Amino acid sequence: MIVVDNLSKSYGKQALFDAVSFKVNRRERVGVVGRNGHGKTTLFRMITGEEEPDEGSITKPRKYRMGYVEQRPRFTEPTVLAEGAKSLAPDAHNEIWRVEKVLSGLGFEAADLEKRPSELSGGYQVRLNLAKVLVGDYQMLLLDEPSNYLDITSIRWLERFLAAWPGELLIITHDRSFMDNVVTHVLGIHRRKVRKIEGNTGKYYEQIAAEEEIYEKTRINDERKMKEMDLFITRFRAKARLGGLVQSRIKSLEKMEKKDKLEAIKSLEFAFAEKSAFHKYALDVRDISFAYTPDRPLIRRLSISVGAKDRVFVIGRNGRGKTTLLRLLAGDLAPQSGRIDSPQSVAPGYFEQTHISTLTEGNTVLEEIASADPEGDPKRARFIAGGMMFEGDDALKRIRILSGGEKSRVLLGKLIATPLNLLLLDEPTNHLDIESNDALLEAIDAFDGAVIMVTHNEMFLHALADRLVVFDNDDIVVYEGGYQRFLDKVGWRDEVMQGSIAAAPPPSMAGQERPKWTPKELRRLRSEVIAERSRALRPLETRIAAVEKSVEAHDASLRDLNAALVKASEARQGAKVVEVSKAMHREKKTIDGLLEELERITAEYEAKKAGFDAKMRELDEATGAS
């Protein structure tokens, strides 16, 4: 655990923290949230000792081991596997399987393990750095945007890994779904203060919004009272018979503390400009194929018709062709066979990170956004720039001095300035904080045209997708349905298979002499147990989640009925009271049944999980003995 006490930090005139205090207790997994530039990474750097606070202290137990991903990769071993194994504890040299398991989960294939780390792409070097921390002998992990450069299957694997992490965890991520599925607590950096709550990001933001609403109402009410008292004092100060009342108000006024108006915080706010059109479909894709090299086709005979208001999401592992598909649909590439047709009334807009190179370096933010507006309206450009968090003089900054994240916001601003009815978006959530992602999700949801989007962010998939183009291993499948239905009915192949099953899981070895297995045989047996465990537990996990969701829905309905009962009682509507009471009885009976089912399924889940855990411990012991 760590204790942060009275911590303050500033850079010049910019104050990040003002006398903040909090604790991270044993086994807590804490998500750190706050807008970009508000000090999340600085907090990590102070906890690890890379930076010093201006005031205050950070207390850690002696010999407390913290793992933090280095920003600059430094590799010394000849192979990826050897580099990953460097972080194993000195007494864990026989646990190379753990390194293989983590590397596999992060998207490394078997052939990658014998490569030199320097041969890896930048994204895979970052993954290797992350793997070294995950297998290390640490009591706390500090992970700053660990899902960067990960694809959706690797993010889902990391989510499960961290949810089972036995130590403490501090994590920064812009992926709200990922954070909510991992953390037990949220630590919010807001207005130079820190607030830690138990629960997820939804609970945190609701609490902050409610408190600020109460603060503002109280401030306005106090100001009104203070003006009234001040006016009374001024009017009746000279009247002797009212002297007692005047003195009473003077004392009350002195005791009242004037509350400052809350400082406005910049937020990403926007709506896409829409171009009306009279068409039933946006794109008609027929049997398209494409390959950069003949021996490795990325897209083979893909067909899909995209309706005028469809929400199509393109998902899958990195390097499988998702961005290539979007470039084909946008017209940046031509298919080598097949055709892509679109009505003349379709006006597409394409967002892709590498397009920041198309920005004119000498232009200001305003000029660049205005160049995308057919009418070139400077007032509208100023409005859009403000929505992209370039307010005042910031809108006059030259493109050449902007950061990568700021340039991405300019690209988004240009897209907003252009009237469109088809959005093609390639991972637009990169470089956006949680609040900005929420704003983007709302804008896409409100857009009246068609959307085709590449993303690894499961919050967007659950909220928006009604069709999927799934790149899974070497297959491309058009899935008609939402993301949760895809997970329930199909699922990701790597999660379902967990490797080939060559034999049944090893029987319990209690009371028997353990056979002598080679490390290779032990790895195979472990993979078989893991695969069997996944097949046995996953349906139960899915059912538990569904029952919990159903309980929440019926509980919400019960609260609504209770409110209706109170209202009917106050209005003396006897018939209504009877009707609502019967409905409440039905809801309570349904909830009781669901809770009984939940208890039964949970007990079954725990029993099966304990059995698989015992098998894994036996194999671990055999690994140490071999």
| pLDDT tens for each residue of 66-93 | 999 876 778 999 999 999 998 888 777 7
Q: How far, in Å, are 89, 167, 462 from residue 102 at the CA level?
A: 15, 17, 27
Q: How far, in Å, are 523, 529, 574 from residue 622 at the CA level?
A: 11, 14, 72
pTM across the whole model: 0.70
Question: Quick check: 67 and 138 in contact, CB under 8 A?
Answer: yes
Question: Quick check: 455 and 351 in contact, CB under 8 A?
Answer: no
Helix (H) or strand (E) holding 17: strand 14-24
CA 124 to chain centroid: 20
CA distance 264 to 386: 13
CA distance 375 to 50: 50
Q: What is the pLDDT of residue 512?
A: 37
Within 13 Å and on the Cβ side, how many CA atoms surround 24? 32
Residues of the chain with pLDDT under 70: 71, 240-241, 262, 264-267, 278, 494-524, 527, 620-626
Q: What is the pLDDT of residue 502?
A: 31
Place of tokens 């990590």: 44
Question: Quick check: 56 and 5 in contact, CB under 8 A?
Answer: yes
Sign of the dihedral defined by the CA atoms of residues 203, 205, 208, 212, in that order: negative
Closest alpha carbon to 188 in 210, 178, 203: 203
What is the signed CA dihedral for 578, 579, 585, 586, rounded to 10 degrees? 160
Q: What is the pLDDT of residue 329?
A: 95
At 291, is the secondary structure helix, strand, or coil?
strand
Place of tokens 């909510």: 180
Q: What is the 3-state secondary structure (H, E, C) of 125-180?
A: HHHHHHHHHHCCCCCEEEEECCCCCCCHHHHHHHHHHHHCCCCEEEEECCCHHHHH
CA distance 156 to 178: 8
CA distance 36 to 434: 9
Q: What is the pLDDT of residue 508?
A: 38
Length of the chain: 626
Helix (H) or strand (E) holding 58: strand 55-59
Sign of the dihedral defined by the CA atoms of residues 211, 53, 42, 66, in that order: negative
